[in-house]
Each structure stands twice: as C-alpha cells, then as structure tokens.
Chain A
Amino acid sequence: MTTDFHNLPDAQGRFGAYGGVYVAETLMAPLAELTAAYERLRVDPSFIAEFDYDLKYYVGRPSPIYHAERLSRRVGGAQILLKREDLNHTGAHKINNTIGQALVAKHMGKRRIIAETGAGQHGVASATVCARLGIPCVVYMGAVDVERQAINVYRMKLLGAEVRPVQSGSKTLKDALNEALRDWVTNVDDTFYMIGTVAGPHPYPQMVRDFNAVVGREARAQMLEQYGRLPHALVACVGGGSNAIGLFHAFLNDAEVRIYGAEAAGDGIETGRHAASLAAGRPGVLHGNRTYVICDDNGQIIETHSVSAGLDYPGVGPEHAYLKDSGRAHYLGITDDEALAAFHELARSEGILAALESSHAVAQGIKLARDLPKDQLVLVNLSGRGDKDVHTIARREGLSLV
C-alpha cells in the first residue's frame, strides 16, 4: 500500500518519529487552547472563506507560474518554471501564514501578537497583519540579523511594530525564537505567538503548513491547466521549511513528481559552516519538536552559517524530517557562492531579483534542469523577492551603497 502523506500529523502532532510537543509545562495550556481553536476553525467554512478572501484581495493571489524561458535556454536542459511567491504583498510566501494566524488570533480574542524573525520577512508579514487588525505587535530578532536586514527592520517599524533585538546565544533566528517563547510563557493570557515557519510545537508545524499549502494547491492546478501535466520535479529552499512544505504538500501523493529541498550549505557542508539541518544534522529536540538539528556531541546547538538570514536556522520543520527519512523528498545543500551565482543569473536572464533564500532553490533548480531533457518541467518556488538583500549582496561584492 502506498503512504497517504496527507494524513499527517497524528493527534499528538507527530509526523512519524518527528514533531510532538516538547515545551515547558506553562506552555501546555496555551498550546492546547490554540490546538482546539485551530481544529475548529480549519474546517469552518466561514473561516476558510475569510482566509481565501484575504489571500485574493489583500495578498494578490493566485501567484502565477512563470516559464523562465531565457534562463532555461541558457541552462540548456529542462524547462524551469517559477512559482512567483515574490509577487505577493510584502514580497514573500510568509504573508500566507500570517494572514491565516491573524484570523485565528482574532477568533481567539487575543489582544497582542508576538513573532520571531530571521530575514525580517516574517516580521514584516506579522507587522503587516497586525496593522490591519489594529493590535500591538512585538517582533523578536537576533541582534546579528537586525544588522544585516536593516531595511526590513525599518519596514516593521513603519508598520507600527516594535522590534526587540535579541542579544542571547548566537543572536540569530534560533535565539529570537527562544525569546519569543519566553515572552509567551510570561504573557500566556492575552498573547498570540505567530511562529513564522513549520517548526515549533504542535499545532504550529501543521497550521503553518496548512496556510502555506495554498502555494502547492494553486501550482498543481496551474500545471494541469497551463501544461496539461504535473512537473517532473519540485524545488524549494528550506530554512524552517514553510515555503517548501507549502509547495510540496499538494504533490506528496503524486509519486511521479520528484521533490527536492535546497538547504543552506554556507561555506560548504564539509567546512562545518552551514545551516543544512537535514543534509548534515541529526535527530534531536529543539524549539518544541523532535526533528533534525545541527548540534555537537554534547547536544548543544551549533551556530549556523548562511549568506541568507532566512535559512540560518539549526532546526527544520518535523514534516521535512519525516519526508527525508521516508525517502519521499530529497534535501541537498547549496553553498553561498552557488546561491549568489543563481541570484545574478536570474537577474540577468529574466529581470527578477530573487531573495537570497529563494536563490538557493533557483541554484538547485538549475543544477537539476541541466541534466534533464528539454521537454521536462522543473517547478521552482520563488519564495520571495530580493529587495531586502541588495545591501548584503553589494557588501559581499565589495560595494557600498551610500
């Protein structure tokens, strides 16, 4: 019998051996409250209608699938198609999730929203929906990321959010997540924690996936409509894994569609300076779930490295851990240099500045397409646009902008 990948997680929030609820006692009650609310809302037709309405009229969905013809010709292999999440309001897939969680928060009557952010895209998407709800938003961001994503920090402030730099640990995304959990534990009564990826304790991996699954649902229908068939392969970058699972989910039971996740290999996996949890990590427990983590032999989480702040995370969503072990999806590392090369290639061949995160997927897509016949289709999730990254890219190339 073939596996039905759409049945997960189970009632305990498990994807096979992964997932679950590994949090301190105080958070068990708010998580149970959230799980109950989400279980009710996810099948409520009026909630679904509200969500669909916002995605259409506020986010601007559906996002198109674009045939990158010139890029494909230059690569000389399969046809590369781009799912244009970069065209969403606020410039990335992250808004799909925050629209959904904002509706859940509203239905639960929560008066304050907190979020963590790495690249700042989820912070911006959170600040955006909070402005619309008219409720206060606090965004935790590692001090290192505040530095390297200055434009997004300013965007959040313009949207009325308070950005709190996190000075603990490695001062990046994982530490921002710790700090948000500490805030939540302290303010359980009135606060809604909006996690930005498919990590964290149950029900987050499921809920965030469900809100991003619109990407794959649309893409599957668009493929059939525009090309009369499903793609040979899907490619998406994997930080926590939300854009990737968002694209993959609708295709998981289509056994003929190959699935590839591109993780950040930083300076190269062999250097130890990377963020490739699945490709180079091991099963452990971090941030409330069992998953692949990057840690040393003492179980201490190791600082990760990637040119892209949004992929700089030592864990990964538990559903990806399950998909890796089951062999349904394959996770490969893309180095900083490969991602940057892909960034430039896409800019010059198609006139699209991709986010550095998404550039990892583009690089993986190019590698894959190169070895495939011209009539094959490779669908790459272009999870976000690169405006936020121009400073980082300029700096890496020795330029200074003003």
Chain B
Amino acid sequence: MSRISERFAELQALHRPGLIPFITAGDPLPEATVAIMHALVEAGADLIELGVPFSDPMADGPVIQHANERALAKGVGLGQILDWVREFRRCDTQTPVVLMGYLNPVEIRGVERFAAEAVEAGVDGVLLVDCPVEEIATAQPLRAAGLDQIFLAAPTTDEMRLQQVCAAAQGFLYYVSFAGITGAAHLSTDAVRERVTALRQRARTPLAVGFGVKDAATAATIAEFADAVVIGSALVDTLAGGVDAADAVQRAKAFLAPIRAALDALTAGHAA
C-alpha cells in the first residue's frame, strides 16, 4: 500500500477529515519551503501538495500564477524541489507528498528519469494538471516506478469519462469544485455535495475536494461529505506576505491551525 493509501486508511479509521494544504515550491522564499512543510504538518496537514512552478500555468488563477513567477524568478526547478522533498523526508517519513504541476518540466527532465528520482526522494504521488486520462501513456513511467498518479474530476466530466478517471485514479481522486481556475470565488458547496455524493458510487479511491476553498467554514462544510479538503490559493496568498523564513513558517501555522480545529470539531461532533 502506498503512503497515500495508508494515510487515508488511518484517517478513515479515526473518522478524521483529511486536510491537504497546497503550496508553491520555493515561494515566498526557497529557503523556507522545507520549514513550511514541517510547519503545515505540525498545524494539522495530513498530506502536502507541493506545486512545481511552471512558466505557463494555464489552469491557475492570479494568486498561484504570481507565486509561480516569483519562484521561477528565484531559479526554482524540479531538481531543487526533489532535494527539498529529500530533506523533508529526513524528519518526516509519514506525511505523503504529492507534486502537482504541468507536464513540460517533467517531459524535459525525462519522465523516466524524473520518476526514479522522485521515488528515491520520497515523493508519493504526482498530479499533472495537463495530462488527462486520455494521455495516460505519457505518465506510464511514473506509475511503473510506484508513484500514485492523482487525477482530477471536474463538474464538466461526463459519465463515460468519469468511469475512465475512476478506473485510472490512484491514491485519491481530486474533485475540482467548480469549472474555473484555482482561487476563483464562486464555490457552491451544495452543488459540490451533490456531485461528490454521486461520485462515491464510482470512485475506488478516497475523494478530496479543492479549488476555491478559502476558509475554515467552507472546509468544514466540505469535510461533511468528502474524505479530504485541499486548500491552495488562500494559503499561497497568506504565505506571499512572508518577509523571511520564520515569518512564512508562522503564517503557515496560523493559517492552517484554525482550519484543522474546525475539521476536528466536526469529528468531535460525530463522536458525541
């Protein structure tokens, strides 16, 4: 069983809603990334999504676009990101790490080479935003190396494709809460509840919901019906103001802790 599947099994056993923060690797400061990852775990993260910066992030809104631009301006690349994961793993062998990004950086490094390096560094899963299930052959070396390939499902995904996506999904299925780019504002939790509940019938993996989750209240509502909640843009936006590594770490904790508390309150409520 992969580290991701193990983690979800634990969460399920504890009736604990999963919390998945997303950060852009290298932002706001390259030297802060590993420390931010540890801080997020301390504040209640169950899994970490590490965004690999790309020059042309076509599925991302302004917040993550700018984070990508800042990280790239500091020269952040895949090799360095793998080093950070390796460093993170020295102190944390439990928390799964998923790299999320676009195909070209992986292609140029070489999919097979990257797959081997990622496994060695301690990466558990890869989510390639611009690699839909139709192009799964491109990512085959990742699966062959033992990385979980995470897929997205969207409100626009039809029945037939949903079956393909569910059949191919590893680790967890990431449901995109609305048709739009990351960080947009129009999340309707009722619509998401309906879709995710229907998705349950199909999915063989746990379900995480993300895109547009900005605060503890929304996260708690989603956690009522999803296995995990992903929070990206709002966290990235908070970190962006970090003046130094210590400040960024502080911001990460201060941001995530109340969300963890809101999710835990849910578990306590169920237990009572």
Contact = CB atoms under 8 A, between A and B. Distances in A.
Interface of A: 12, 20-30, 32, 168-169, 174-175, 177-178, 181-182, 185-186, 188, 282-288, 293, 295, 297-302
A284 B161 CA distance: 25
A369 B221 CA distance: 70
A186 B184 contact: yes
Interface string B60-91: 11100100010010000111000000000000
Interface of B: 53-62, 65, 69, 72, 77-79, 102-109, 129-132, 134-135, 151-158, 161, 165, 176, 179-181, 184
Q: Pick from B102, B135, B156 the residue with the most CB of A within 10 Å.
A: B156
A297 B104 CA distance: 10
Q: Pick from B58, B72, B151 the residue with the most CB of A within 10 Å.
A: B58
A143 to B, nearest CB: 14
22 contacts: A12-B134, A20-B135, A22-B130, A23-B130, A24-B132, A24-B152, A25-B154, A26-B154, A26-B179, A32-B158, A169-B65, A177-B58, A182-B61, A282-B108, A287-B58, A298-B77, A298-B78, A298-B79, A299-B78, A299-B109, A300-B72, A301-B56
A283 B134 CA distance: 19
A158 B104 CA distance: 39
Nearest to A293: B104
A21 B103 contact: no
A361 to B, nearest CB: 27
Nearest to B57: A178
B46 to A, nearest CB: 23
B58 A284 contact: no
B157 A185 contact: no
A299 B54 CA distance: 8
Given A22-B131, A28-B156, A28-B161, A185 B78 contact: no
Given A168-B65, A185-B179, A186-B184, A286 B156 contact: no
Nearest to B105: A299
Contact of A301 (B65, B104, B131): B104
B159 to A, nearest CB: 11
B103 A25 contact: no
A264 B61 CA distance: 31
Contact of A24 (B55, B107, B129): B129
B179 to A, nearest CB: 5
A168 B58 CA distance: 11
Nearest to B61: A182
A6 B102 CA distance: 32
A301 B151 CA distance: 24
Contact of B176 (A26, A282, A284): A26
Nearest to B66: A168
A23 B129 CA distance: 7
A168 B70 CA distance: 12
B105 A300 contact: yes
Contact of A186 (B54, B157, B181): B181
Contacts of A287: 56, 58
B215 to A, nearest CB: 21
Shortest beta-carbon contacts, A-B, top 9:
A299-B105, A299-B108, A298-B77, A29-B156, A24-B59, A25-B152, A26-B154, A285-B103, A299-B104
Contact of A21 (B54, B132, B155, B180): B132
A28 B157 contact: yes
B107 A284 contact: yes
Contacts of A30: 156
A18 B196 CA distance: 35
A22 B69 contact: no
Contact of A23 (B61, B62, B132, B153): B132
B58 A181 contact: yes
Given A21-B132, A299-B78, A178 B56 contact: yes
A178 to B, nearest CB: 5
A285 B58 contact: no
A301 B105 CA distance: 9
A168 B65 CA distance: 8
Nearest to B153: A25
